[in-house]
Amino acid sequence: MRLDKFLTETTDLSRSDAKKVVHRGDVTVDGEVVKNTASAVKDGMRVEWNGEHLELMGLRYLMLYKPANVECTSKPGLYERAHDLIDLPNVERLSIVGRLDVDTTGLVLMTDDGQWNHRVTSPKKACAKRYRVTLARPLEGDELARAVEDFDHGLMLDGEEKPTRPARLEMETATVGLLWITEGRYHQVKRMFAAIGNHVEALHREAIGDVELDPELEPGECRFLRPEEIASF
């Protein structure tokens, strides 16, 4: 790997800034100052920038407890971004694996492994996501029975040409329930409940596949996924 590319992989430096620090003599390889940005960095070589040892990070897999009023976007906007909550080098290289609306809280996965991201989000995989839904008005009795059946059979949402995939609804109380869906259409959960005449007041994602939001995490906190969590997809 070229020295300038190695620097961009291990720090927040852009390629042009990496070239500048190398030309200034701020970078050493195995204890020797190297000013050639095209110099090859091989396995086992020790690279330091201003005395700081740099190491390739490899692929990263994280879970984030997304608070409300945080956007799942790479571009700056009206709200704080999920990326702004992550204190890691090259955080912009992390892609969000299944976005959440700005007012939805809960589990967000992030990675720089594009193939893994595809395995989680591909419609063909039909990866189930579990949401805790708080409704504006009670859903019970015959109305609940019809909703469970409609969700299981699939709903035709406004502006859509195909019904939703089968979804499972279980109400814990008259206004709080759990919903499992295997797709991620625009505002899907909110639109599904709107289609049966109700309104979602709060929405929280608890799980993606077999990966559960860590109960030890506070809103805004994150941690790396465990090997078994990564492998579950």
Each residue's pLDDT tens digit, 208-226: 999 999 999 999 999 999 9
How many C-beta atoms lie closer than 10 Å to residue 207's C-beta? 17
**Active site members:** 101
pLDDT at 89: 82
Strand-pairing partners, residue 65, are: 107
Q: How many residues are there in the chain?
A: 233
Q: Which residues of 2-34 are buried (b: 16+ CB within 10 A; e: fewer)?
A: ebbebbbbbbebeeeebbebbeeeebebeeeee
- Read off the pLDDT of residues 66-99 as tens digits, 9 standing for 90 and up: 999 999 988 888 899 999 999 988 898 899 998 9
pTM: 0.83
Q: Beta strand pairing status for 47-49 and 52-54? A: antiparallel
Dist CA 50 CA 96 (whole Å): 32
Q: Which residue blocks in 13-90 are alpha helix, DSSP H?
A: 15-23
- Residue 174 neighbours by CB distance under 10 Å: 13
Residue 167 CB neighbours (<10 A): 23
